[in-house]
Structure 1
């Protein structure tokens, strides 16, 4: 284990600055695809440690590491078979301790991805639970008798397709799975389940983690009465949570998730975290009520620190009116809470491809993110301007994509290996070592870190400058926000407690915008290097995707 003095020092620093997470920039690492240190074609913890200098060079505050726990990998780590062990393909607990120690040396905090709503069907808990109806863990999972016809107990659907219920011939009952059939849902109505999961959280807090990203946080608790979900008005259907081809989108998910009983467990979890000064960001998977749930889960100081919904992970490019509408809604439903924004992650196509952005537009959007109230998540490779990879069906690994191919191609296109140089396998694996678990796209190689390093005009340098902008002006991280759209022009005003103000204007369209600027505003010192436009005689001429950054 890490040296306890170092861990204790880190805890003391977090406790002394309990709002360290507010306005933070977090870099997501998908461990399978970051750096292979052993030559087996799969990224690992030692590989992440090797590349921590790159992450630190971006100026971010923390990294979020997707699951690395022991797992049969049917959902690539989101099906956990042992919460307290590192899967051998990723290394060992000693490798994790070394990662934590090095990250802290570099001033980086580490959030790990906890998947608490479900486990693998190979987890010892589930193996015991399914053995009969009287064992000590018989009620640790969600079991239900069939209807008299033998049909599942209700109409709940799985995000990964089909019924959310799987028949088990041993118990002669169905068990609930909101995702793969091999991912049975834990029963949060069982107090001992909650107690054990809280012990899991404390195990990692004692190892030095700075907090958690909580997968599918609104799926923890189900309706104890197992009531049917009602049909959803077709006009309200959208594909923010599941692809459009999935009938999951046809239900109003009142009873299978987002239950009010969830709040009690979240308060228990926050109580465990507080003595460690730890923070949590929850993933809210709800296409209709995501922001409302975000507000519920982050209200006050006894629930989660921050949550993110899917509004800026949506399929369509966010326009100025849309962003203003989202932020106004956050003001209404989460006035006492805190949002965390992302454009890309391991579950959605990379945003440059998803929104069909030009390089100029991509540069504008990252500066925009750094000016929005809330914390921010960047996804590995985003800083290089990587596009979504085209993966042939025979190379697919994602069960989600295999199920719904070809209408939905799954998540492999955003999970291809990070490119470090233009050599074999992009520097992810070297020489004649094993082929990477997913192919490295040829068109990613010219965008590799080594190819961009030292080029002040490259996307990598632009991302570093964008993050530095937020770090240089604390008002952008924590200040109050007023926002409005004037056609394609998005106007953001941020104001800090000391009266410091920043005015950021973004033209999110292909036409020109000529907003007037009142006296007293001057360009921020970092503006020119980011490509911002300076006002002339109180007027701005913003071309397509142009922006201005002013302060007073």
Structure 2
């Protein structure tokens, strides 16, 4: 329906307004076209059902149980065209760096077309690449090039909510009788719930819409089987293009049952089980969830995720490294029956997870940092590193999460990231903490990460061997045993800022332990009952194996 309205400042004598949306047009023809689309915006989306395609994998068998992952924010990683924004071609150009570092898996923060045109978590088209990042052809090339280097690619998938500008929501909000109305959560009156950010119910032309995180990100109705089926088609769309798995965002908020039952609802697991079934239908794929408050629940059999980040344990790793003593929380992780399904990380893109690692771990000549890195990489089966963390990249001084998502510090100059002007301020410590400055420098953070990745890659027992803790809470060291088949390894990490002699009992009748890390080796004494004694320098690391 159209209204003729005077709007001299914009169009001169008159303007045409589409009443349903409030959009203003200079001509009647343009307004007629827009009015005809009201309630039918999603007609232009690719909504076709997606059958299962090729299910094989070109990656090494078991890659999904031992991957060494790097979380990458494409917008901030490498700009290939000088517009100041990172893109897929830029990331592809850095795959050799990632391979040489030892990375075997990439978690890409959302790369789909988005409303926010920044972090990507407000998705406007689930089957299109963010235009700032390139094209589907660019994405396909990234997959091909990554696989050629033995690197898997895992996509961030946002199932809880879409963008408010997603055509599906534009249709849903256009009328109470629209066919997409039940794809989102509406109520005639304001229920006035109280959640993290206050009342999540947002006023619209026809009632109130539920959007937990922001009015720009309305929640899907995941009780609607048509919505879930469409999401499953989207997963197959990307799996058929060779994607190696998914990270699922904010899974604890999937389903709402009332003002005090909008978080971690039981129906959520059924939705995730469907996703897990789709993903497991393809060989060698990986699935991990963000379930910040209940990771074990979602990693468990029937939880639907297979893996869930070990939220909370990043603090335990950091605190053990800075305090010089094994915390009870980290010890609990080392002895947990589900440890293998709970990957460790030191930092990620969200401020609530702790911020950039260098801010907390720069003490003792960065010894704290090296100790924390050793724990995170050696005690986890599929450890995750945040881009730039491998050399101590810091924040950029901006408030909120933007401060953690600065352009990558490839060199000590902006030109390392872009030939233009970066879309966001660079890291404040770029001059001294950058990849080029640390490459090849013995003892640097970058070479520490490279060496830890290398020893994991060379010894499968360090990737997925059964882990047995050999140290207790309060002790000034972390010690654990890993066993897989005929391989046995002992990891010893001195948390103290002084040299110490560590003695641990392995309970194994093995006497021929030798050092494989560091390269120079450490003097090892062992007896017939498997008792090992090693002297380690301050905040030193040793890995021992049997022949």
TM-score by length of 1: 0.80
Deviation at 1:478, TM superposition (A): 1.1
Residue of structure 2 aligned with 1:427, choices 416, 427, 443: 416
Residue of structure 2 aligned with 1:460, choices 441, 446, 453: 446
Q: Who is 1:195 aligned against?
A: 229
**CA distance, structure 1, for counterparts of residue 336 and residue 374 of structure 2:** 25
**3-state SS of 2:481 partner:** strand
**3-state SS of 1:328 partner:** helix
Task: Count how many residue pairs are aligned between Structure 1 and Structure 2.
Answer: 477
Residue of structure 2 aligned with 1:219, choices 253, 256, 276: 253
Instruction: Kindly report which structure 2 residues correspond to 1:154-169, keeping only aligned pairs within 5 A, or say none.
Output: 154-158=192-196, 161-168=197-204
Contact 2:517 2:544 in 1 (8 A): no
Deviation at 1:216, TM superposition (A): 1.1
Contact 1:316 1:354 in 2 (8 A): no
Contact 1:315 1:355 in 2 (8 A): no
**3-state SS of 1:443 partner:** coil
Q: Who is 1:485 aligned against?
A: 472
Moved more, 109-118 or 520-529: 520-529
**CA distance, structure 2, for counterparts of residue 514 and residue 299 of structure 1:** 39
Q: Which runs of 5+ in 2 are unaligned?
A: 1-51, 527-531
Moved more, 179-188 or 364-373: 364-373
Contact 1:476 1:494 in 2 (8 A): no
Structure 1 residues 474-516: Cα deviation after superposition (integer angstroms, max 9, x where no partner):
1221111122335242433233232432222223244554322
Deviation at 1:86, TM superposition (A): 1.0
Aligned CA distance change for structure 1 residues 371 and 384 (closer, same or farther; 3 Å) = same
Report 1 or 2 for greater relative contact order, CA contacts < 8 Å, sequence distance ≥ 6.
Answer: 1
Instruction: Kindly report which structure 2 residues correspond to 1:171-190, keeping only aligned pairs within 5 A, or say none.
Output: 171-172=206-207, 174-190=208-224
Contact 2:318 2:346 in 1 (8 A): no
Contact 2:307 2:341 in 1 (8 A): yes
**CA distance, structure 1, for counterparts of residue 512 and residue 400 of structure 2:** 47
Structure 2 residue 271 is matched with structure 1 residue 271: no
Contact 1:418 1:426 in 2 (8 A): no
Deviation at 1:309, TM superposition (A): 3.4
Structure 1 residues 4-37: Cα deviation after superposition (integer angstroms, max 9, x where no partner):
xxx98882446x83x4211321111101100011
Q: Who is 2:426 aligned against?
A: 440
Contact 1:419 1:427 in 2 (8 A): yes
Deviation at 1:301, TM superposition (A): 8.1
Residue of structure 1 aligned with 2:359, choices 323, 339, 353: 353
Instruction: Kindly report which structure 2 residues correspond to 1:226-375, keeping only aligned pairs within 5 A, or say none.
Output: 226=258, 228-229=259-260, 255-277=261-283, 278-286=285-293, 290=294, 294-300=295-301, 303-314=304-315, 317-319=318-320, 324-326=328-330, 328=332, 334=338, 338-348=341-351, 349-357=355-363, 358-375=365-382
Deviation at 1:57, TM superposition (A): 0.9
Aligned CA distance change for structure 1 residues 453 and 9 (closer, same or farther; 3 Å) = farther
Contact 1:489 1:505 in 2 (8 A): no
**3-state SS of 2:65 partner:** coil
Instruction: Kindly report which structure 2 residues correspond to 1:532-551, keeping only aligned pairs within 5 A, or say none.
Output: 533-535=522-524, 539-551=533-545
Deviation at 1:191, TM superposition (A): 0.6
Aligned CA distance change for structure 1 residues 109 and 200 (closer, same or farther; 3 Å) = same
Structure 1 residues 313-351: Cα deviation after superposition (integer angstroms, max 9, x where no partner):
44993327665534535855737x611111011113111
Q: Who is 2:93 aligned against?
A: 50
Structure 2 residue 33 is matched with structure 1 residue 33: no
Structure 2 residue 412 is matched with structure 1 residue 418: no
Contact 2:387 2:408 in 1 (8 A): yes
Contact 1:509 1:545 in 2 (8 A): yes
**3-state SS of 1:420 partner:** coil
Deviation at 1:526, TM superposition (A): 2.9
Aligned CA distance change for structure 1 residues 263 and 333 (closer, same or farther; 3 Å) = farther
**CA distance, structure 1, for counterparts of residue 408 and residue 277 of structure 2:** 37
**CA distance, structure 1, for counterparts of residue 78 and residue 366 of structure 2:** 26
**CA distance, structure 2, for counterparts of residue 42 and residue 75 of structure 1:** 10
**CA distance, structure 1, for counterparts of residue 85 and residue 174 of structure 2:** 34
Deviation at 1:272, TM superposition (A): 1.2
Instruction: Kindly report which structure 2 residues correspond to 1:506-517, keeping only aligned pairs within 5 A, or say none.
Output: 506-510=493-497, 513-517=500-504
**3-state SS of 1:318 partner:** helix
**3-state SS of 1:111 partner:** strand
**CA distance, structure 1, for counterparts of residue 85 and residue 514 of structure 2:** 46
Q: Who is 1:153 aligned against?
A: 191
Q: Which runs of 5+ in 1 are unaligned?
A: 1-6, 147-151, 230-254, 392-408
Q: Who is 1:82 aligned against?
A: 125
**3-state SS of 2:255 partner:** coil
Deviation at 1:163, TM superposition (A): 2.0
Moved more, 441-450 or 89-98: 441-450
Q: Which has the larger radius of gyration?
A: 2
**CA distance, structure 2, for counterparts of residue 280 and residue 451 of structure 1:** 35
Q: Who is 1:91 aligned against?
A: 134
**CA distance, structure 2, for counterparts of residue 309 and residue 142 of structure 1:** 30
**CA distance, structure 2, for counterparts of residue 536 and residue 496 of structure 1:** 20
Deviation at 1:275, TM superposition (A): 2.4
**CA distance, structure 1, for counterparts of residue 473 and residue 501 of structure 2:** 11
Q: Who is 1:247 aligned against?
A: none
Deviation at 1:261, TM superposition (A): 1.0
Structure 2 residue 11 is matched with structure 1 residue 11: no
Q: Who is 2:64 aligned against?
A: 21
